[in-house]
Structures are given as C-alpha cells and as structure tokens.
Structure 1
Amino acid sequence: MLFMGTFFICLFIFMMQFLWKYVDEMVGKGLEMNVLAQFFFYSALTLVPASLPLAILLAALITFGNFGERFELLAMKAAGISLLKIMRPLIIFISIICCVSFYFQNVIGPKAQTKLWTLLVSMKQKSPEVDIPEGVFYDEIDGYNLYVKHKNRKTGMLYDVLIYNFEKGFENAQIIKSDSGRLEMTADKQHLYLHLYSGEQFENLKSQSMNQKNVPYRREAFVEKHAIIEFNSDFNMVDAGFMSNQSNSKDMKMLQAGIDSMKVQNDSIGRTYYKEAMASTYKATSNTLSKADTIKIESATLGSYDVDSLFNVATLMQKQKIMSTAVSRAESAASDWSFKGFNISQTENSLRRHMTSWHEKLTLSLACLIFFFIGAPLGGIIRKGGLGMPVVVSVLIFIIYYIINNTGYKMARDGKWIVWMGMWTSTAVLAPLGAFLTYKSNNDSVVLNADAYINWFKKIAGIRSVRHLFRKEVIIHDPDYVRLPGELQRLSADCRAYAEKKTLMRAPNYFRLWMNDAPHDEEVVALNERLETLIDEMSNTRSIPLLTALNNYPVIAVHAHVRPFRNYWLNMLCGAIVPVGLFFYFRIWAFRIRLNKDMERIIHTNEEIQNIIKVNQNK
C-alpha cells in the first residue's frame, strides 16, 4: 500500500511536469472532455516507467526507516536474521516490478506514445476558440485582424469593431469599421458568421505599388452587413502514420530491425558516395575526346603539368572562363556533398535515437532494482521514517540519477559518446553505490553516522577530545583512597621518566623515524591504560572537587607521535616522497611536543588529586 501511494504521488508529479510543457497547446482550444481524458490517460501510461524507480526508492526508504526508527530492524537482526534475508521477499516483489516496467516500455509504451503524440499534433493543428479580447488586435483567425473596443459578455455584442481582411494580400487589404456587431460559429464549426451594423467598408480596386500616387478604391456605407469567414474549429485527429519511423513508437524487436536496416543503408550509401567521388574526381567531361585521350587524362596527375604557366599564357577571356568554371564546379560539388552529408547525418541521428531507445528500455527497468538496493539499506542506516527525511534523501538521489542519466543520454544521442556507454553511465554509477550501502547496512556500519566522521576529522586535524565526567547516581564501590595516592605518585614518576627518556621536545631523526620497525610505542600505551584505569576508579567518588579535578586529565593520542602507517614499506615509501614525508614529519613532531605537555599535565593533576584526597581524609 505504501508503494502504491508513493507511485501515484510520483506519477502525479511527472504528469504535472509533462502537462506544464504542453499546456499552451490545450488552453483556449475548446477541447472536449473525452480528448483531454485521452491525453491524460496516454501521458500517464508513458510516464509509468519513469515513476516506478522514484516510487520504489521513496517506499523503501520510508519502510526501512520505520523499521529502524521503531527498532524492529534491530530486533530482527538480534534474532539472527540478516538484512538480505529481511529484504528477500521485497527483492522478489521488485523483480516483478522490473518485469512490469519492461512490459510497459516494450509493449504498452510504444502504443501509448503513438496515441499521445497523435493527440498532441492534432491539438497543435486545432484552431483556438474565438474569444476576442477588448482593446487589442486579435489575429488568431487566418487572414484577418479584429479590433473590438468594448464587448458585452452577457449579450455577445461587440462595439466599435475594426476588421482588416488580408486574404488578397497586404497591399489589397479590405477594411471594415462598424459601430456594433456579433460573431457566431456555424453549426458545422467550419465557418464564422459575422453580423455588422452601421459601418463603412473600404478596399482598393487594383494593386498598389510604391510609384503609384493615385489608386482607385471603393467605399461603401451600410446599415447591416453579413459575412462568412472560413474557420475550422472542429477537432480532427491526424493520421498516426507519421509516428511509424519514430524510435519511441517501437518495441525492442522493431528497434533492432530498424537499427540493422539503417546500418546497412548507411554503409551501402557511404560506399556508393565513395565510389562516385573517386570515379568523378578526375573524370573527363568532354564527349569530343577519343578513348585514348580520355584514358591519358584520367591516368594523368596534376603534378605532371605546369598549371601556372598554362594559366598565364591564356587570354583574359580564357582566364575569366577558367575561373568561373572552377568556381561553378566547386560550388556544385560543395552543394552536392552538403546534401549527401545531410542525408548521412539524418540517418545517423535516427540510428542513434533507435539505439538509445533500445538501451533505455533495459536501463530504466534495471533502475527499479538498483533504487531498491539504495533505498532499503539507506532507510535502515538513517533510521528515520515518515515523509520528512526519506523524501529529502530520495529527491536528492533521484536528482543525481536524473543529471547523470540525462547527460549520458544526450551525449549518446548527439554522437559525443558511444551509445551503450552513455546509456549505462547512470547504472554504472548507482549500482556500486547500492552494493556499498547494502554491505554497510548488513554489517551495521556507521557509514552515515556524523559523529564517526567528526571524530575522524578531529583525529586527522589533531583536535583533542575533552573529558566530561559527572557524578554517578548509584555508586557500588568507592575508590580506595588509601592506595590511590601511591598509585598516582608512581604514575607521575613513570611519566617523568618517559618524557626524559624519549626527549619529546627534540625533533626526531627523519631517516630513523621511517626505518623504525616498532609499530607502536608500548610504553605510552601502558601509561595510558594505567591512567584510564585510575580515572575509571576515581570517577566513583562522591567528592565534587575530586570529580572536577579528574576532568583536567588529557585524552592521550597514543599513536599520533609515531609512524603514520603500520606497514613498514608503506612508511618507507611515505618517507621517500619528500613532500608527503615532510608533512607527516612535522605533524609527528607537533604531537611529540603535545605528548610532553600531556605528561606534565598528568603529573600536575596527580599532585592536585593527592592534595584533595589528603584533605578529605583529614576531614
């Protein structure tokens, strides 16, 4: 039911977009309801394949977002059911939808496209309804311009009417001015019946030219005048045969047959043009030459003759004749090859359109399955149901898909890319994305967890975290205040000894840094574990001053002051590439200096906590 709802919403949106493109063809035409109903029905059929991918994406996002938001997905995974097993019934359902989409494109779509475009062309050719506005010239009637100053919409009377009749040409215009009139449509809707009252008619009796000063004319005054104007306002359906060569009106079998025939046609025409060009380039045009002379001329080359000397010894008349003949032959050849090139390019354009339509039937059907593998895991990752976040995410993904798909289609249609590459670009981009999201969601990855990326950025930029310890509501074991001062004193001594041994303030040796085999600094790792254990124990205290002092302990980055990579040869390569090695070298040096300050801060905090414990024991 959710899928059906999203499908009809998406279909309605696409229909409104389609209607907005062709609204000018329908407004003011007086089209009957059955014609409009056919238009909406056939346009809906043609837009079904385009609506299905977006509907599936949105429905999958909402469904699995609801599962995640209500922890139903977590419960199913906790029961040992993997994401792919949860998705299995829907994968079967979406596969059926893919087949339905292909059926619509291959069987129903071509018929609906033929009917739809036949209707659109018929709508364009239909004359608009006669609705003459006030105060402006109305030119929707062929051969006439009408001006009405005022119109009574209740009675249909027109006042201060001015009519220009250009049926005999602009220079022989017939002008009629009337105080009032009425315009009616005949019963057969083929003519307009014009009633005019109290006016004058003016027309020339012969054609007027620029050099004529006096032109005879006729002027007629009338009390009542009637005229019939030819105006076909009836809706006539055009012949659907004009769609027989269009790619969008054919199924895959017809498209393949058309592609094969156009390839053969282009190849044969191209070979014929080539033979004509090679045969006529040096062909003798004079019929007075003997066969032997013709053979000599055809076998001769231009380099065998001194053309300039032949041209220079010619007379002026001969030179003019030679130049005019050469120009005429060049223009004729250019015109001939331009026509031949246009003929070939038209066939090539039709061939590419047929090929893009053939591939589109497959890619658009496969997009339903790809969008499901994007929407379902993405809904499980973001864990937001309803029409809020899923709508935003699905629209963004569909916009990306539309841009990639439309770009590839236009590149393939215009011959900029290979047809299969342009048509399958969107699939090649989105299919890996669907597989990646499915894999991450199946493994409960934090691929869309903002905190994970923030922590990674902090780690790269060297931004340390701050401790936030609060008083616990329930404390089971109190800290051992008798043992803790000794532990803190030993930790301070070890921190001081470590800082003196490692000489952290000194710049490290560049070559020794990359050649060191030790993957970690075991001493600082051990010191950090002892520190965290003591902090965890002391966090059970009821003393507010002690809890405040615990927040002064630094969060130590135990691996930031050593080699950046665990692999030995990768570190060697990093050191060999000097710009990269220098970046990591100065970064490691900065972290060594910070680690030295952390050791001093630990020692100072240990002394502060020892004093707090001593004061509490004295109390």
Structure 2
Amino acid sequence: MLRIKRLDIFIVKSFLLLFIGTFFICLFIFMMQFLWRYVDELVGKGLEMSVMAQFFFYSALTLVPVSLPLAVLLASLITFGNFGERYELLAMKAAGISLLKIMRPLIILVCFICVVSFYFQNVIGPIAQGKLGTLLISMKQKSPELDIPEGVFYSEIPDYNLKVGKKDRKTGMLYDVLIYNFKDGAENAHIIYADSGKMEMTADKQHLYLHLYSGELFENLKSQNVKSQNVPYRRESFREKHTIIEFDSDFNMADASIMSNQATTKSMGTLKASIDSMTHYGDSIGRQYFKEAMGGAYSQPSGLSKNDTLRIAEANIASYNVDSLFEAATLMQKQKIISSAVSRTGSLQGDYSFKTYTLETNDYQIRRHRIEWHKKITISLSCLLFFFIGAPLGGIIRKGGLGMPVIVSVLVFIIYYVIDNSGYKMARDGKWIIWMGVWLSSSILAPLGFFLTYKSNNDSVVLNADAYISWFKRIVGIRSVRHLARKEVIIHDPDYSRISDELNALTARCRAYVNTHPLRKIPNYFKLWMSVGEDNEMKAINEQLESLVEEMSNSKSVTMLTALNNYPIIAVTAHVRPFHIYWLNLLAGVIVPVGLFFYFRIWAFRIRLSKDMERIIKNNAEIQDIIKTNNNL
C-alpha cells in the first residue's frame, strides 16, 4: 500500500509541474492571439499603464477556461511520453499495475481542474467578461494620442485638419503650420497659416492650447443675400495669436450596464432566467403581432356577418375577372388603384420586415444564451476528455519533451477547435439543435479517448509507425534482408557434418517443390478463391531453412556468415489465398477490382518464390563448398 502511495505522489508531481508550465505557455499564446485582434484599435491611444494592466488581467481571466484543456492535453502527453521513453511505464506495468491504476491519481486531479474550470466560467468569467467588454469599448472610444506628423494633414482632431512642415521635438515648436477649421461647415472654413507655433494640452486634458506666431487668418463670411454670387471673406494678419481647440484626450470608462445583456457576462442561473424571460417575451410579441395582423390586413369588414367573412375568405380569386374590373376603370382611377396598392404593399412589407427582425433577433439571443449555458459544461468536461486522449497517446508514442507531444497536441486541439467551432456556428444560426451543435466536439472526443485508453491499456501498437511500415512492406512485397554478424561468445559450434546432410535434404525438397508446383505459371482465377488448404510443404521448408541458418550463425567464419545473409526471407503465405476464412476469399473473388489486386499480387509472389527456391539451392551449394574448404583447412 505504501508503495502505491509513493507511486501516486511521484505521478502527480511529474504531471503537476508540467501542467503549471504548459498552462502559462498556453495562456500566454491565447493572450497574444487575443491582443492581436485589437492591436489596430488600441495602438496610438496613449493609454496609461493601469488601463493596459486591467486589459491584460481581465483577458487572462477570460482565457483561463480555454487554456486549461490544451494544458491538460500537453502535460499528459509529455508526462506519459517521458514515462514511456524512460521505461518507467514499462516498469510499472511489469509490476502488475495497469494503465488505469497509473492514471487514477491524475484522473482525480483532472476532475478537480474541471471543477476549477467550471468555477471560472460560471463565477469569475462572467464578471471578467463584463469588465473586459466595458474596458474595450472605453478604449476604442478614447481619442488617439496627439502626435502630429510632418508634411501630411492630421485629421484625428474633430472638425480640424492640421499640417506641420517641420517639428522640433526638443523644444516642441512647430513650423509652417496650416490649420483648417470646419466647425461651421466646409463652405465656411476658417484657415490659419502661421510661420511657427506651439501646442500643449490643458490641465484638465479637455482642450488644446495653440500659440501661433507671424501668420494670417482667412474666414468666409456668410452672405446676407441668398441670390448673391460673391461670398465675402475676412483676412487677418497677426504677430501672435492664441486659440483653444476642444480635444478630450482623457480616458473615460463607459457605463458597465452596456454589457449586461451579453450572454458571456451571465452565470448559469442568470442565463436560465434570461432564457425564460426572452422566451416569454417572444411568445407575447408573437401573439400581439398575430392579433395586429388579424385586425389589420385580414380584419373582418364592417357590415358582414361571420359567415359572410368565411365565405369571402374561402372564395377563389380565379373566379373573378380582376383584369376586366381594372380595365373598366378610368385612367385616374387606375392611377389611384396602383398607387394605393403600392403604398399599402410597401407599408405592409416594412411592417412585416420590422416584426420579422424583432422575432429573429429575440430567437438569436435565446440561442446565444442556451449555447453559453451548455458551453460552461462542455469546456469544463473537455479537460477530462483531453486527459483521456493525451495520457494514452503519450504511453503509445513514448516520446517525451517538447517535440512530438507538442505537434500531436496542437493537431488534436486544431481538430477539436474546428469541430467545436463548426457545431457552434450551426447551433448559433439555428441550423442544428442547440445541444447537438455544442456537444458535437465532446461526442467525438469521448469515443476517441475511450479507444486510445483501451488500446494503450492493452499495449496496442495502434500508433506505432514501425508496425504500419511493416504492414505496408508486406502489402507491397518489400521484405527485410538478413543481417547476421559474428557473435562475440559462441557456446555451441555448428555440427557441419550433420548440417551438410541437411543442406542436401533441403536442396532435394526445394527441387521437388519446384517440380510439383508450377509457380511461374499463371494461376487459375476461379480455383484460387475456392482453394481451402494451406501450403504446409512450404512452411516445413521455411522452418528447416531458418533452423539451419540459426545453427550456422554460430560460425566463426566471416565467409560463412556472408553466405548465410544471402538466404532470402520467405513469405510462406503470400503466394496462396489472401484470407483464412473461406467466404472472405469468395467475396474477394466476386468483387472484381479487389480480386484482381490480390490475383496479380499472388502471381507476383509466386514468381518471387520460384526465384527464392533457386536461390536457396544455389546458396546451399556455396555453403557446402565453404564447409568442405574449412574442414580441409
């Protein structure tokens, strides 16, 4: 019991240290991505450090739930990859501890992380989202920092255009100053040109104070007579002039209630209450719109009974010759009829468009609130799902560090993000049911995690690249080559006298096999699929060959080892039917494209087997000559 407790502590420590590091790395990456979205709107505003600190603090709080799943995935991959690379996982399994028992302390820890993630989304996240949204709106509305460039017009000051020929940044003096004042409109612009000047901010940061020297003022004067063709203007020369321009450069926080209706700023309880309120509101305005519609365009005409209204409603317009009635009217009446129809149709269309927009907006907000309610659960649960993907993957890949685990985790997270974002958009636009779109990524991750955990617990080679390479070589027909080297210690020397007789027997069996099996002849397509027996003779030949090679590999002669490496590695089942099950062979033969593939593959393997038999016979003779030469020596 004590050993297991120490092992649990070791596993938790190994995971926790990596999780803390990967969490801050993921959080930093997401924060940089978040900052990149708003960098164009925030640059050049002259924001104070306290405002920027609030921005980074609130954005970090809102990104914690998103960073936790990726951190869990990466940390579990690296942890179990390190265990596999250092053979610690193998030692644990050799001690009789299954993978699930190894993962047990981390499962408890990740469940606690899920609770923390849910707490952040349900309690801290809505508050941070409201603060961050208010802060972003305030930062966007702030006037840009006053930094007038040289040689171009500067239009960031409302109702003014300024152009400065040259600036002295040490003294703050401006030269060749041209100012356009459009406060009274473009037709009544005030133009000021000064040889030099200076600009400074007032103490309340609400106005700009301009000191201008040696210049002229041009101003259009409004004509008293509208029909006048000439507009008088006023020209003024000055040696020194002082003017004040309104320019609010201070940071003003927007009203916090501006974000109160956003779904991201509400907890699950508030979301539920808001959904009920909006549903009730949508139903009430829907009933009201129905009453208005029935009381307006579809209202019951005066002087008619209910039965008359029903009769008119059931009447077929095709039974009335509307064109003849219209043609019988005068030109003035026709014009009035058309104008009335167009006016009434436009009014109805505008009214219905507004009502449709109102209902669709309300439905859209209901969907957003429901999606946000489900996301608080799915994002928290994704931490546990990512752990059941990362831990088995690390045990299967058996690669630690920041190389392969980072690549695999990024690929898995990208797939998760694409699926989750697609489901979210489908649910948001009303094309899918809400729970189906939001839970789509979780429904795919859960079977994947179960499959990988099962395979890793049973030491499967599902992600072993060597196994897939070996399988591909077998399909294509690429085989390995023998690599026998001289052994440092040899316990039993080969019995060459007996081996020589067995080589002769092997040669005779190979020749007999070649004579009784026409390997180079094209096989019969139909008999190939209906054959039920196995080639036991070839299996016996291969067993005898491998036994002789194994015994002769104890030789000290380099020449003998070189000759042994020339023996082929025989695929004993590649030249016969592809499947062991009879009906599968028949099915492959019936499906002609599949059957043709296996047919030509078997034919190629038969030709290669025939060459292997000749190679074995030739190599047997060479080895017998080597044995005779060594015995004579």
2:363 equivalent to 1:348:
yes
Q: Could you tell me how far apart the structure 2 residues matched to 1:404 and 1:384 are?
A: 27
- Find the counterpart in structure 1 of residue 517 from structure 2: 502
Once the two structures are overlaid, the 10-residue window that deviates more, 193-202 or 203-212, is: 203-212
Question: How far apart are 1:448 and its partner, in Å?
Answer: 2.8
1:556 equivalent to 2:570? Answer: yes
Question: 1:208, CA displacement in angstroms?
Answer: 11
Report the Cα offset of residue 473 of structure 1. 1.8
**1:357 and 2:361 aligned:** no
Which of the numbers 251, 259, 266 marks the counterpart of 1:250? 266
User: CA 1:611–1:100 in structure 2 vs 1: closer, same or farther (change >3 Å)?
Assistant: same
More displaced stretch, 462-471 vs 24-33: 24-33
Q: Which of 248, 251, 254 lines up with 1:232 in the alignment?
A: 248
* Displacement of 1:116: 0.6
Q: Tell me the equivalent position of 1:416.
A: 431
> Is residue 70 of structure 2 the alignment partner of residue 54 of structure 1?
yes
Q: What displacement does 1:615 show?
A: 2.1
Q: Which amino acid aligns with 1:368?
A: C
Separation in 1 of the partners of 2:627 and 2:292?
107
Per-residue Cα deviation, 1:90-121 (whole angstroms, up to 9, x for no partner): 11001000000000001100000001111111
**Aligned residue number for residue 44 of structure 2:** 28
Q: Does 1:103 align with 2:119?
A: yes
- Distance of 2:547 and 2:398 partners within structure 1: 35
Alpha-carbon separation, structure 2, partners of 1:414 and 1:183? 52
Matches within 5 A, 1:502-541: 502-518=517-533, 520-541=534-555
Deviation of 1:532 after TM superposition, in Å, equals 0.6
CA distance in 2, matches of 1:442, 1:294: 79
Counterpart check, 1:398 vs 2:380:
no
What is aligned with 1:156? 172
Q: How much does 1:382 deviate?
A: 2.5
Q: Spell out the pairing of 1:266-345 with structure 2 (5 A cutoff).
A: 266-274=282-290, 276-277=292-293, 280-281=296-297, 283=299, 295=309, 297-298=312-313, 300-345=315-360
Q: Indicate the SS of the match to 2:496.
A: coil
Matched residue type, 2:377: L
SS where residue 462 of structure 2 aligns?
Answer: coil
On the 8 A contact 2:223/2:232 being kept in 1, the answer is no
Q: What SS does the corresponding residue of 1:30 show, helix, strand or coil?
A: coil
What CA distance in whole angstroms lies between the structure 1 residues aligned with 2:290 and 2:485? 88
Instruction: After superposing the two structures, state which structure 1 stretch, 365-374 or 574-583, moved more.
Output: 574-583
Distance 1:450 1:427, change over 3 A: same
Query: How far apart are the structure 2 equivalents of 1:537 and 1:28?
Result: 82
CA-to-partner distance for each residue in 1:568-615, whole Å, 9 max, x for gaps?
222222222222222222222222222222222222221222222122
Aligned to 1:460: 475
Given that 1:6 and 1:58 are in contact with CA atoms closer than 8 Å, whether structure 2 keeps it comes out as: yes
C-alpha displacement at 1:262, in angstroms? 2.8
Change (3 A) 1:524 1:314: same
Distance 1:602 1:273, change over 3 A: farther
Q: Give the Cα–Cα distance (whole angstroms) in 2 for the partners of residues 209 and 363 of structure 1.
A: 73
- Aligned AA for 1:20? W
Q: Which residue of 1 aligns with 2:402?
A: 387
Q: Bigger CA drift: 399-408 or 158-167?
A: 399-408
Equivalent-residue separation in structure 1 for 2:443 and 2:312 (angstroms):
59
**Closer, same or farther: CA 299–452 of 1 in aligned 2, 3 Å:** closer
In 2, distance between residues paired with 1:205 and 1:394? 71
| Aligned residue runs from structure 1 range 155-234, under 5 A | 155-206=171-222, 213-234=229-250
> By how many angstroms is 1:279 displaced?
6.1
Residues in 1 aligned to 2:234 and 2:240: alpha-carbon distance in whole angstroms: 18
Corresponding residue pairs, total: 616
Q: Show the counterpart of 1:6.
A: 22
Rate the CA distance shift 1:369–1:210 in 2: closer, same or farther, 3 A. Answer: farther
**DSSP 3-state at the match of 1:220:** strand
Greater Cα offset, 376-385 or 152-161: 376-385
Give the deviation of 1:74 after TM superposition. Answer: 1.7
- Secondary structure of 2:556's counterpart equals coil
Distance 1:10 1:207, change over 3 A: farther
Does the CA contact (< 8 Å) of 1:172 and 1:207 recur in 2?
Answer: no
Shift of 1:278: 5.8
For 1:37 and 1:209, locate their aligned partners in 2 and report how far apart those are by CA, in whole Å. 59
Aligned-partner residue type, residue 550 of structure 2: D
Q: Structure 1 residues 234, 595: closer, same or farther in 2, change over 3 A?
A: same
What is the CA distance between 1:141 and its match in structure 2? 1.0
Q: How far apart in 1 are the matches of 2:606 and 2:225? A: 99
Deviations 1:436-494 (A, max 9, x none): 22222222222332221111001111222222222222211111110112111111211
Q: C-alpha distance in 2, partners of 1:93/1:32?
A: 40
User: Does structure 1 retain, via aligned residues, the 8 Å contact 2:199–2:209?
Assistant: yes
What TM-score, normalized to structure 1? Answer: 0.94
Pair 1:579-2:569 in alignment: no
For residues 324 and 164 of structure 1, do their structure 2 counterparts lie closer, same or farther at Cα, with a shift above 3 Å needed?
same
- List aligned pairs for 1:16-165, cutoff 5 A: 16-165=32-181
Q: Is 48-57 or 584-593 further displaced after alignment? A: 584-593
Which runs of no fewer than 5 residues in structure 2 stay unpaired?
Answer: 1-16
Please give the alpha-carbon distance, in whole angstroms, between the structure 2 residues aligned to 1:501 and 1:269.
Answer: 91
Conserved 8 A contact 2:190-2:218: yes
Residues in 2 aligned to 1:228 and 1:133: alpha-carbon distance in whole angstroms: 20
Offset at residue 301 of structure 1 (A) = 3.1
Question: Are 1:282 and 1:298, in contact at CA under 8 Å, matched by a contact in 2?
Answer: no
Secondary structure at 1:482 match in 2: helix
Q: Secondary structure at the match of 2:188?
A: coil
Q: Does 1:445 align with 2:460?
A: yes
Corresponding residue for 1:486? 501
After superposition, the Cα gap between the structure-2 partners of 1:293 and 1:312, relative to the gap in structure 1 and judged at 3 Å, is: farther
Asked if the contact 1:174–1:201 (Cα under 8 Å) also holds between the matched residues in 2, the reply is yes
Does the 8 Å contact 1:171/1:208 carry over to 2?
no
Distance 1:269 1:462, change over 3 A: farther
What is the SS of the residue equivalent to 2:569?
A: coil
TM-score by length of 2: 0.92
SS at match of 2:210: strand
Q: Bigger shift: 400-409 or 367-376?
A: 400-409
- 5+ residue gaps, structure 1: none
Rounded to whole Å, the distance in 2 between the matches of 1:412 and 1:402 is: 15
Q: Deviations over 1:158-194 (max 9, x none)?
A: 1111111111111111111111112121111222112
Report the CA distance between 1:247 and its aligned residue: 0.6
User: Residues of 1 paired with 2:304 and 2:432: CA distance?
Assistant: 52
Report the 3-state secondary structure (helix = DSSP H, G, I; strand = E; otherwise coil) of the residue aligned with 2:177.
strand
Q: What is the one-letter code of the residue matched to 2:52? A: L
CA distance 1:284–1:305, shift in 2 (3 Å): farther
C-alpha distance in 2 between matches for 1:587 and 1:471: 36
**Does the residue aligned with 1:150 lie in a helix, a strand or coil?**
strand
For residue 277 of structure 1, report the CA deviation from its aligned partner.
4.7
User: Which of 577, 580, 583 is matched with 1:569 structurally?
Assistant: 583
Contact (CA 8 Å) 1:283, 1:298: kept in 2 or not? no
Residue 565 of structure 1: how far off its partner (Å): 1.6
Tell me which amino acid in the other structure corresponds to 1:166.
F
1:227-286: CA deviation from partner (whole Å, max 9, x where unpaired): 12112222211111121111100111222222233334334444554565566555477x
Amino acid of the residue matched to residue 610 of structure 2?
A: N
Task: Give secondary structure in 2 for the equivalent of 1:483.
Answer: helix
Q: Is the 8 A contact 1:199 1:223 kept in 2?
A: yes
Q: Is the 8 A contact 2:388 2:449 kept in 1?
A: yes
- Deviation at residue 47 of structure 1 after TM alignment: 0.7
CA gap of 1:293–1:102, structure 2 versus 1, over 3 A, is closer
Deviation at 1:291, TM superposition (A): 5.9
Q: Could you report, residue by residue, the CA deviation over 1:42-85 in whole angstroms, capped at 9, with x for unpaired residues?
A: 11110110111111122222222222222222211111111211
| Matching residue of 2:13 | none
